[in-house]
Structure 1
Amino acid sequence: MSKAARPAYRCGECGWTTAKWVGRCGECQAWGTVEEAGARQGVHVVKPGAVTAPAVPIGQVKAETAHARPTGVAELDRVLGGGLVPGAVVLLAGEPGIGKSTLLLEAAARTARHETVLYVTGEESASQVRMRADRIGAIEEGLYLAAETDLAALVAHVEKVQPRLLIVDSVQTIGSADATGVPGGVTQVREVAGNLVRLAKERGMSTVLVGHVTKDGTIAGPRVLEHLVDVVLQFEGDRNSRLRMVRAAKNRFGPIEEVGCFDLHERGITGISDPSGLFVSRHSEPVPGTCVTVTIEGTRPIPAELQALVGPTEAPQPRRTSSGLDAYRVAMVLAVMERRLNAKIGKCDVFTATVGGIRLTDPAVDLALMLSVVSAAGDKALPPGLVVLGEVGLAGELRAVRDVRRRLAEASRLGFTQALVPAGSLENDAPRLEAPKSRGGLVAVRAPASRTSNFAPGFDVTEVENVWDALAHVR
C-alpha cells in the first residue's frame, strides 16, 4: 500500500520546500514566507499547445516598440534610460513619506498632456490625491484617478479608460479574490504583480508599481516581485533634508549607474539638473577633519565633502560611526591607517560623515576619507582648494580610478585649484609601491615621489604612488 501524499510547504521568496511548516526559511533565512503548497506530486509532462506568435529570426524582430517615451521629468527619464518603454513594468520603492506619490503624480500629469494616464490609489482616497494635485499643479484632462483595492476592479478601469500609462500606488494594497491570504502577503503580491505584468505586456501599456520597504530598506514582499518587473528604482533621501535621489537597481532598457536628484518642497518635487555644490559646505577658512573628493553617479561627476572627528576615549571599545559611507569600507581604511601609517587611533572614537545626505560607495573616496581622519587626528587642516581622489589598497598602494579627467574638470569648474590623484591616472602609468621604513610617531614618511602637472589654467594635479607619499604631500 502506498503511503498517502504528505502536504509540502514552500518558501515564497526562494522556492525552498519542506515537509513540515517552519517559521523561517532554511534556504534564504526569511521569516514568515513558508506556506502550504499542497501535496507533493511528480513531474507532469506538458503537451504541446497553441503558440501566440511564431518564432522568427532575431534580425526580423522589430525594435521600434522598445523605444522609450519621455515622461517629462528629466531626472526620472535619466534614471530610466530615456523614459518609459511601452509594456514595461517599473517598481518604485522607498520609505513612507519620502515623496514617491508626489514624484509619480508629477510624472503622470506631464505624461497626460499627450497620452491617457490612469492613476490607481489604494492607500489614499481620491480626494486626498486631488488635494495633492492641486498643490503641485498636476491637474490635466488626460489624467484619470481611481481609488481601488480590488484587482478585478482595477482591470475593469483599465478596460474602460484604455491608458497608455498605469500607475498603481501601491501594489501591496491591491488584493485578488483568486488568491489566498491578505493584501500585502506573499501569495497576494505574487498574484497581483503577475496579473499586472501580463496586462502590461498584452496591451503595450507602461506600468509603474509603488512598493513598500522593510525596516532594513529592502523591498517588501516576495523576491519574485523584483524578478517579474523590468525596472526596479530605489527612492532615497533623508527626512531632515529636501534632497531626494532615485537610483536604478535593475533596468532591462538602460544603465543602472544613473542617479536622479530631486528637491522635495511644499509645491511638489523639482529635478536638480546640476547637483554640484550641494554636497560641499562653504568654510570661511580651512577646517581640520574635512576633505573634498569627486564621485561619479552614472555619467555625472559630483563633488562631495567628507568630514571626520577623532577624539580619545576611556571606553574599552572605541566607537566607529559613519553616516553616508560604507561602514565596512571605513573600517578597512582605518585598519590600513593603523597598520601602514602607524596611526595611533586604536583608543579613539572616530566619526565620519558626508555633507548634504549623499551616500558614497565609490572606492575613489578612500584617500579623501583617510586624509580627513588624519587631519582630524592631528587637528591640522588640509590645504585650501584641494580635491583628493584614489582607491586605497590593503598594502598601502593607491589604485587609479575611472573618469579622472571628468572628475578633475568638474572640480576645476567649481573653483578648486589643486588635486591629489594616484600615479598614472592621467597617463595610465603603472604605479609602484615602495614602503618606507618606520620612524615612529603618527606615520613614517619619506620624500614624496610625486609629479605635479598643470591640468588646466590655475589647476595643478599631483600624482602620488601610495598613502605615504599622499600624506607627505599634504603635510
Structure 2
Amino acid sequence: MAKAKTAYVCSDCGSDHRKWQGQCQDCGAWNTLTEVRLAAAGAASAPAGRQGYAGAVGELQSLSSVQIEDLPRIASGFEELDRVLGGGFVPGSAVLLGGHPGAGKSTMLLQVLCRLATRSRCLYVTGEESLQQVALRARRLGLSAEELQLYSETSLEAVLAQANQHRPSVLVVDSIQVLHSEQVSSAPGSVSQVRECAAALTRFAKQTNTVLIMVGHVTKDGALAGPKVLEHIIDCSIMFEGGSDSRYRTLRGHKNRFGAVNELGVFAMTEQGLKEVKNPSAIFLNRGDVQAAGSVVMVVWEGTRPLLVEIQALVDESNYGNPRRVAVGLEQNRLAMLLAVLHRHGGLQLGDQDVFVNVVGGVKVLETGADLALLFAIVSSFRDRALPEDLVVFGEVGLSGEIRPVPSGQERLQEAKKHGFSRAIVPKANAPRGDIAMDVVAVSTLAEAIEAM
C-alpha cells in the first residue's frame, strides 16, 4: 500500500510547501502553513463501479444525452426554511448552517429533526453538547423525541462508522469545527481538520444519498470560521442573523445549488423554540402613533418576495471636527457615497452634520433599491419635516444624480398596496403599467425626487 503524502498549504494564498516553515515564501504571511494530507498515488484508469466524490463515476457522454430528473425534496416542516432552501432538503446534498452563538442553530435543527424522525431515519451527532443537554432542550421545547437517534462523538471515523451502520436519511453534525480525523495531525478546528472532515462527510452524503447538515462557527467579523474551500465543498450555505437582544431571527441563503440565493426567512424566538413569521412586513412596520421626521418605508426585494421595512435617519449638528457617519443594517461606504451625491445634485450640505441611519427590526439591506428611501429619510430629518405615513419609496441613485430602476417594481408596488400604502415615489422606469389604485410619482433625477418629496 502506497504511503500517504503530506504537504503544507498557506491558508492565505494557497501555495504549497514541502515542509513547515514560519513564513510563506509567496505571500510573506506568518504562521499560515497548515498540514494537508494528500491521496496516495493509484492507478491511472478508474475501475468500473468506482465511487467518486459526487457518487458513482459514469461514462463519457454529451450534455444533451444526460437524463434529467426532478429533484426530490424533503419538507423540513418550516415553510420559511424550505423557502431559503429552495423547496426543501435535497437527498445527497450538503448544507452548512452558520450563525453567532445563541442565534438558534441547534434549536432549529432539533425542532426539524424531531419532525422528520416521525417519517424517516434521522441521526443527530452532537460534539459540543452532551446527550443530557440535548434531551433537556427537547423536553423544554415540548418536542416528540421518541424516534430521533442521538450520538455524542467528535471522531470523524467513529461518526462515519455509525452513519454507515445506521444509514440515516438526514445526518446532522453539530458542529464541524469540533470534529477531528486521526489521519490529520493537527488540532480540531484547524484549517486542515475542517477541510478534511467536511470533505469526508460530503463524500459520504453524496454516495449514500443522505441529507447532510453541518453547523459551522463564525468569527468575530461574522464570517464562517475555517478555510474558504469549505463553502465550495457544500451545496447550500445559510446563515442565521440576529443577536440575542432581538426576538426575531433572519435566515438568509448565501449559496444554493438547488434554488435561488439571497432568500430570506424570518423566525421569532419564543419559549417553545423558533416560530415562523408568515408576514414579515407586518412586524417590521410596527410604527409609532406619532409620525416623526426622518422615517420612511421602503420596499426591498429578498430572494423571491418583496419586504416592507422602515428606515430611520437622524441628522444632528456635529460637535467635533470630523462628523460621524453610522449605518446600522446598511453599508457604511454606500452611506458616504449617497451623502456626496445629495450634496452635489440635491444642494444639501451635510459636511458639518452627524448622520445616523438605522433599519428597523434588525434587517440587513444589501440591495441598492434602498438608496432613494435612505436619502428621503436623511432629508426629512435634516429639514425636520415628517413624511406622510402612507408613502413608500424605492429606487437606486446613481453618481450623476439619476434614479435608476430596480427589479420587480410592479410586485413591490402591489405589496405596498396590500399593506395600505396609497402613495409612492419610484423610478421612472418602474412606473405602473396599469391601474394599481395608488398615487405613484415617477422620477428620473434626484432633483425631481426632492421636489416631489
Cα distance, 1:280 vs structure 2? 2.1
- For 1:405 and 1:196, locate their aligned partners in 2 and report how far apart those are by CA, in whole Å: 44
Which residues in structure 2 correspond to 1:452-463 (within 5 Å)?
455-456=436-437, 459-463=438-442
Task: Give CA deviations for 1:136-180 in whole Å, capped at 9, x if unaligned.
Answer: 233233310111111122122212322100000000111111111
Q: Kindly indicate whether the alpha-carbon contact (under 8 Å) linking 1:421 and 1:464 is maintained by their aligned counterparts in 2.
A: yes
Quick check: 2:92–2:208 contact (8 Å CA) kept in 1? Answer: yes
The answer for the alignment partner of 1:349 in structure 2 is 354
Residue 98 of structure 1: which of 70, 92, 103 is its match?
103
Q: Which residue of 1 aligns with 2:3?
A: none
Aligned partner of 1:450 in structure 2 is none
Alignment of 1:58-69 (within 5 A): 58=63, 61-64=66-69, 66-69=71-74
Distance 1:90 1:30 in 2: 32
Q: Tell me how far apart the structure 2 counterparts of residues 23 and 462 of structure 1 sit (CA, whole Å).
A: 60
1:257 to 253, 256, 262: 262
> For residues 54-83 of structure 1, what are the alpha-carbon distances to aligned partners after superposition, in whole Å with 9 as ceiling and x for unaligned?
314555545447322212221111111111
Shift of residue 344, structure 1, vs aligned partner? 2.0
**Higher mean C-alpha deviation, range 9-18 or range 163-172:** 9-18
Bigger drift between 314-323 and 272-281 goes to 272-281
Distance verdict in 2 for CA 1:91–1:50, change over 3 Å: same
C-alpha distance in 2, partners of 1:252/1:183?
28
Q: 1:392 aligns with which of 388, 397, 410?
A: 397
- Counterpart position of 1:403: 408
Query: SS where residue 253 of structure 1 aligns?
Result: coil
Q: Distance in 2 between matches of 1:38 and 1:92?
A: 26
Q: 155, 161, 178: which one pairs with 1:156?
A: 161
1:9 shift after superposition: 4.0
Match of 1:17 in 2: 16
Change in Cα spacing, 1:65 to 1:145, as seen in structure 2 (3 Å) is farther
Contact 1:89 1:209 in 2 (8 A): yes
Structure 1 match to 2:383: 378
Is the CA contact 2:345–2:401 (under 8 Å) kept in the aligned structure 1? yes
Q: Residue by residue, what CA displacement relative to the aligned partner does 1:164-214 show, whole Å, maximum 9, x if unpaired?
A: 000000001111111111111111111211110111111111100000011
Which is higher, the Rg of structure 1 or of structure 2? 1
Task: Encode CA deviations 1:323-381: one digit per residue, 9 max, x unaligned.
Answer: 01111111111111111122121011100001111111121111110011011111111
CA distance in 1, matches of 2:138, 2:42: 53
Distance 1:57 1:264, change over 3 A: same
Are 1:120 and 1:169, in contact at CA under 8 Å, matched by a contact in 2? yes
Alpha-carbon contact 2:169-2:210 (below 8 Å) kept: yes
State the AA in 2 paired with 1:127.
Answer: Q
CA change 1:156–1:329 in 2 (3 A) is: same
Partner residue, 1:200: 205
- Structure 2 counterpart of 1:442: none
In 2, Cα distance between equivalents of 1:307 and 1:66: 43
C-alpha distance 21-346 of structure 1, shift in aligned 2 (>3 A): same
What does the per-residue CA deviation read over 1:373-415, in whole Å, with 9 as the maximum and x for residues that have no partner?
A: 0111111111231101111111111111111111111111111
Alpha-carbon distance between aligned partners in 2 of 1:166 and 1:203, rounded to the nearest angstrom? 11
CA separation of 1:57 and 1:17: change in aligned 2, threshold 3 A: closer
Change (3 A) 1:246 1:38: closer
Residue of structure 2 equivalent to 1:220: 225
* Alignment check: 8 A CA contact 1:310 1:348 kept: yes
Amino acid at match of 1:342: G
Map 1:51-450 → 2, pairs under 5 A? 51=48, 52=50, 53-55=57-59, 56-58=61-63, 61-64=66-69, 66-426=71-431
Using the TM superposition, give the Cα deviation of residue 281 of structure 1 relative to its aligned residue in structure 2, in angstroms. 3.5
- Unpaired stretches in structure 2, ≥5 consecutive residues: 1-5, 51-56
Q: Which runs of 5+ in 1 are unaligned?
A: 1-6, 429-452
Is this contact kept in 2: 1:326–1:361, CA < 8 A?
yes
* Cα pair distance change 1:65/1:339, threshold 3 Å: closer
TM-score, normalised relative to structure 1: 0.87
Q: Is the 8 A contact 2:330 2:359 kept in 1?
A: yes
Q: CA deviation at 1:283?
A: 2.6
CA distance in 2, matches of 1:427, 1:38: 59
- Residues 280 and 235 of structure 1, relative CA distance in 2, 3 Å threshold: same
Query: Separation in 2 of the partners of 1:249 and 1:131?
Result: 32
Please state whether the residue corresponding to 2:240 is helix, strand or coil.
Answer: strand
Shift of the 49–121 alpha-carbon distance from structure 1 to 2, 3 Å rule, reads same
- Does the 8 A contact of 2:12 with 2:29 survive in 1? yes
Change (3 A) 1:324 1:120: same
SS at match of 2:151: strand
Greater shift, 176-185 or 274-283, is seen at 274-283
Cα RMSD, aligned residues only: 2.3
Q: Give the aligned partner of residue 471 of structure 1.
A: 450
Q: 2:361 and 2:327 mapped to 1: Cα distance?
A: 14
> Mean alpha-carbon deviation: is it higher for 272-281 or for 400-409?
272-281
**Amino acid in structure 2 at the alignment position of 1:15:** G
Does the Cα contact within 8 Å between 1:287 and 1:381 map onto a contact in 2? yes
Q: Which residue does 1:444 correspond to in 2? A: none
Q: Whole-Å Cα distance in 2 between the matches of residues 66 and 92 of structure 1?
A: 21
One-letter amino acid of the counterpart of residue 10, structure 2 = C
**1:396-435 deviation per Cα after TM superposition (whole angstroms, max 9, x unaligned):** 111111111111111111111100111131368xxxxxxx
For residues 22 and 119 of structure 1, do their structure 2 counterparts lie closer, same or farther at Cα, with a shift above 3 Å needed? same
- The one-letter amino acid paired with 2:448 is D
